[in-house]
């Protein structure tokens, strides 16, 4: 079976506080886009679940979320796993704030559910995904949704009006634990207008959604990294984006465009300086 694993973007991301269990309470508006990994699942007759990828540095075994998802699926089903070879053709950037690994895991859950005769509803499958990773439930359901708690409490939202997206990942790493530590140690000066975004989605008002996008992690990036993300966002706006934002804990920035020509021009300009730049559409 072949299946796609779509990237996600954060139209908003707010951190409400740290919980007693060590996780953080989040409030996020999430959006799927057409940029995706391609996965192939094949019976191998060995009883083992094996994974291979076009990226040699990705881990195997349960450290790979695709394998972890398959094992979790069969544990929940109460059966020994079938032997599988999982092939990942990665296009979504790694460690980019776009849920690439979580989306792969969700794609495996959807594929196995179909292969095994649909034993789980989509909502039940999303709950299976909670045991794999915080973003996996959203990636099972996809489209436009409000995510709360660790990201597992999901409310489907009116679809974001279809538009073009230019996605750009600058070439530097981000430490997610460091950013959470930074946000725990400072006063958040600006928060996204989540209610305003929800109202704009209800009205089908793309410019208003784009204008209100924000991610609290932008404020706590180290200074040089914050400047580089800001440069990408400024380029997107100058090229005609309705709004620009950082996704997840970064460093990927993206812009929403009504016009394909403007999106292509922004893509071509950013591609000259950033290898991992992509042109996509919302789903």
Quote the pTM value.
0.95
Annotated catalytic residue within 8, 27, 68, 233: 8
Closest CA to 206 of 144, 148, 264, 268: 144
pLDDT of residue 132: 96
CATH 3.30.70.890 domain range(s) in the chain? 164-281
Q: Which of 134, 158, 166 is nearest to 33 (CA)?
A: 166
Catalytic residue among 14, 37, 104, 135: 135
In order, the DSSP letters of 8-61 are: EEEEEEEEEEE-TTS-EEEEEEEEEEEEEEEEEEEE-SSS-EEEEESSTTS--G
- Give CATH 3.30.230.10 domain extents, the chain: 2-156
Active site residue 68: no
- Concerning whether 135 is annotated as a catalytic residue, the answer is yes
User: In whole angstroms, what is the distance from residue 261 CA to residue 283 CA?
Assistant: 19
Give the tens place of pLDDT for each residue, 200-249: 999 999 999 999 999 999 999 999 999 999 999 999 999 999 999 999 99
pLDDT per residue as tens digits for the range 159-204: 999 999 999 999 998 989 999 999 998 888 899 999 999 999 999 9
In Å, how far are 13, 102, 138, 214, 255 from 5, measured between CA atoms?
Answer: 22, 9, 12, 25, 21
CATH 3.30.70.890 fits 164-281, yes or no: yes
CB count in 10 Å sphere of residue 238:
11
pLDDT at 61: 86
Q: What is the pLDDT, as a whole number, of residue 45?
A: 86
Question: How is domain 2-156 classified at the architecture level of CATH?
Answer: 2-Layer Sandwich (3.30)
Strand partners, 10: 30
**Cα gap 5→12, rounded to integer Å:** 21
């Amino acid at each position: 079976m072949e299946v796609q694993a779509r990237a996600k973007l954060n139209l908003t991301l707010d951190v409400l506080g740290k919980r007693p269990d060590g996780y953080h309470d989040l409030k996020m508006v999430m959006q799927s886009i057409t940029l995706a990994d391609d996965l192939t699942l094949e019976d191998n007759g060995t009883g083992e679940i094996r994974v291979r990828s076009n990226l040699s540095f990705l881990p195997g075994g349960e450290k790979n979320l695709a394998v972890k998802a398959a094992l979790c699926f069969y544990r929940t089903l109460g059966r020994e796993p079938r032997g599988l070879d999982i092939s990942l053709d990665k296009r979504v950037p790694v460690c980019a704030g776009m849920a690439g690994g979580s989306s792969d895991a969700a794609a495996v859950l959807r594929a196995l559910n179909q292969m095994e005769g649909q034993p789980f509803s989509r909502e039940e499958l999303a709950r299976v995904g909670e045991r794999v990773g915080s973003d996996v439930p959203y990636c099972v359901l996809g489209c436009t949704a409000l995510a709360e708690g660790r990201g597992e409490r999901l409310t489907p939202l009116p679809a974001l009006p279809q538009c073009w997206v230019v996605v750009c990942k600058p070439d530097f790493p981000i430490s997610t634990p460091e950013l959470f530590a930074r946000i725990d140690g400072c006063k958040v000066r600006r928060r996204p207008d989540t209610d305003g975004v929800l109202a704009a989605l209800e009205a089908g008002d793309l410019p208003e959604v784009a204008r209100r996008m924000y991610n609290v992690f932008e404020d706590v990036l180290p200074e040089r990294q914050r400047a580089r993300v800001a440069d990408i966002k400024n380029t997107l706006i100058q090229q005609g984006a309705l709004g620009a934002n950082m996704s997840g804990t970064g460093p990927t920035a993206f812009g929403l465009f009504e016009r394909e020509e403007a999106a292509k021009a922004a893509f071509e300009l950013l591609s000259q300086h950033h290898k991992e730049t992509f042109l996509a559409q919302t789903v």
